Amino acid sequence: MIVKCRDDMIGIRLELKKQDKKLVFTNGCFDILHSGHVDYLNKAKQLGDYLLVGLNSDISVKSIKGEKRPIINEMERATLLDNLKCVNYVTFFDEDTPEQLIKSLIPDILVKGADWTLDQIVGREIVEANGGKVKAIEFSCNQSTSKIINLIINRYSK
């Protein structure tokens, strides 16, 4: 499994820097992985040499999404991400935002979906201050975990 603790990921990051490899970082809950996630992650990977996904832990997901989430536990979500060709590393974070993780890793490229404006992207200042780039990726499909959950509820509550 490619899930790494933060300390291990810091060491990997330093090694990638020595090799002049570009690290792309994105983050999210990735609860109920769907085609929109896969497309987004593939586009993110194309921006550099390695893709690291900062995965909200179960504690973090509950804090930002509510007590009924996540649907899929953190190790299962990490396993799904681990099995995508485009993902090189996964690391968890317990906070509501990945700011501390971004501070400790300082990726070359920070990526979020285009539903975030550049000035809303957490960690933007850190990455840009260190010579990195921040990108917002357009979504190719109109899909989300919340939409899937609502579809299931509506379809089976009748």
The per-residue pLDDT for range 99-134, each reduced to its tens digit, is 999 999 999 999 999 889 999 999 999 999 999 999
pTM summary value: 0.94
Domain spans, the chain: 6-156
The separation between CA 136 and the C-alpha centre of its own chain, rounded to angstroms, equals: 13
Residue 1's pLDDT is 64
Query: By C-alpha distance, which of 106, 100, 105 is closest to 133?
Result: 106
The per-residue pLDDT for range 75-96, each reduced to its tens digit, is 999 999 999 999 999 999 999 9
User: What ranges make up the beta strands (E) of the chain?
Assistant: 23-28, 50-56, 89-93, 109-113, 133-137
Query: By C-alpha distance, which of 1, 152, 141 is closest to 74?
Result: 1
Q: Flag whether pLDDT at 65 surpasses 80.
A: yes
Q: Return d(Cα 103, Cα 107) in angstroms, integer.
A: 9
Q: Flag whether pLDDT at 48 surpasses 70.
A: yes
Q: Between the CA atoms of 122, 39, 41 and 100, what dihedral angle is there, to the nearest 10 degrees?
A: 20
Q: Does domain 6-156 have CATH number 2.70.70.10?
A: no
Q: Flag whether pLDDT at 59 surpasses 70.
A: yes
